Amino acid sequence: MTFVSSPVVVRPPATTANIGPGYDALGAALSWHDEIELAVVGSGLTVELAGEGVEDLPRDEQHLLVRAARAAFDRLGGQPPGLRLRCVNRIPQARGMGSSSAAVVGGIVAARGLVENGTELLDDAAALALAAEIEGHPDNVAPCLLGGVTIAWTDEETGRAHATRMEPAAGVRPVICVPTTRGYTAASRGLLPAEVPHAAAAANAGRAALLVRALTAAPELLLPATRDWLHQDYRRPSMPVSLELVDALRAEGIPAVVSGAGPTVLAFAPTPSTNDVEAIAMKTAGPGTFAVTAVDVSTAGAVAIRGQGRDQ
């Protein structure tokens, strides 16, 4: 195993998962990126952080990105003598936009990039499986690694995560409504019942199948395709304002869902109607509650780029 001398830079994208009925399966990469630089040094660990949520993040081996990189190095064959990590966090933390998945995938891809022939030693399938092990589920790590729109699943016999990637349709134009308040996946999942009615499960399965068609070929179907019976209403007590915004947008004919475990709201609208989304958010929740931003589906996932090298 040979480490490269120059640092690597990785820009893992934000992601949205579930997308309504695609619970724990469907995801998409968004054109909103963190930036990571990782380098092998002579000894020790240095962690430099800037941007979103840095006041709450550790600057030692407990940092999620460091833990993911360490796990990847173990799979690749061994640990480097030392590491220097620099991060600029732009993805909102604990908002349902895959910030933890970006850290996990970013750490794995960066570690792989610091090893000669790293992609051969740890290919995308193995990297995805490792990322899902660390994150706990594959629906966000899959689009972060692969880009585009993804369907992820876990093999019930091996427990190994898999994913397939699809190209988004040109008319899929996400608008992100990010609230000032945070949300946490574990708390949100705790509201979900152990069982749901058979009719609800059947309806959800049909809309999830329709959603694949809508995201990849027929965006005009996004309003009916994003109807969910499986998880969003059960989570309403943890994010009532977000679900009120989803209801208000859908009442105006704008496809809208909770992004991931929330509380961010994801809408789909042509560029001219981004202002409509913002107006509805302001009317529903009041000024300053949601920051509304139009983004694209990122067709590229996290990729390691070799830097020019700096003083180690």
Would you tell me how many other CB atoms lie within 10 Å of the CB of residue 114?
A: 26
Beta bridge partners of 304: 10
Residue pointed to by tokens 């640990």 = 79
Q: Is 102 annotated as a binding residue?
A: yes
Please return the burial class of 257, using the count of CB atoms within 10 Å of its CB with bins 0-12, 13-18 and 19+: buried
Q: What is the number of helices (H) and of strands (E) in the chain?
A: 10, 13
Q: Is 239 annotated as a binding residue?
A: no
What is the Cα–Cα distance from 16 to 253, expressed in whole angstroms? 21
Q: Is 107 annotated as a binding residue?
A: no
Q: Are 44 and 72 in contact (CB under 8 A)?
A: no
Q: Is 100 annotated as a binding residue?
A: yes
Residue pointed to by tokens 């959603």 = 211
Q: Is 285 annotated as a binding residue?
A: no
What is the Cα–Cα distance from 26 to 260, expressed in whole angstroms? 10
Q: Is 93 annotated as a binding residue?
A: yes
Residue pointed to by tokens 């290919």 = 123
Cis peptide before 263 (omega within 30 of 0): yes
Q: Is 97 annotated as a binding residue?
A: yes
What is the Cα–Cα distance from 210 to 137, expressed in whole angstroms? 23
Q: Is 306 annotated as a binding residue?
A: no
In which region does residue 20 sit, left (phi positive, over 0), alpha (psi from -120 to 50) or beta (all else)?
left
Reference 211, options 166, 262, 147; nearest CA is 166
What is the Cα–Cα distance from 172 to 212, expressed in whole angstroms? 12
Q: Is 166 annotated as a binding residue?
A: no
Numbered residues of the known binding site: 92-102
Numbered residues of the known binding site for ATP: 92-102
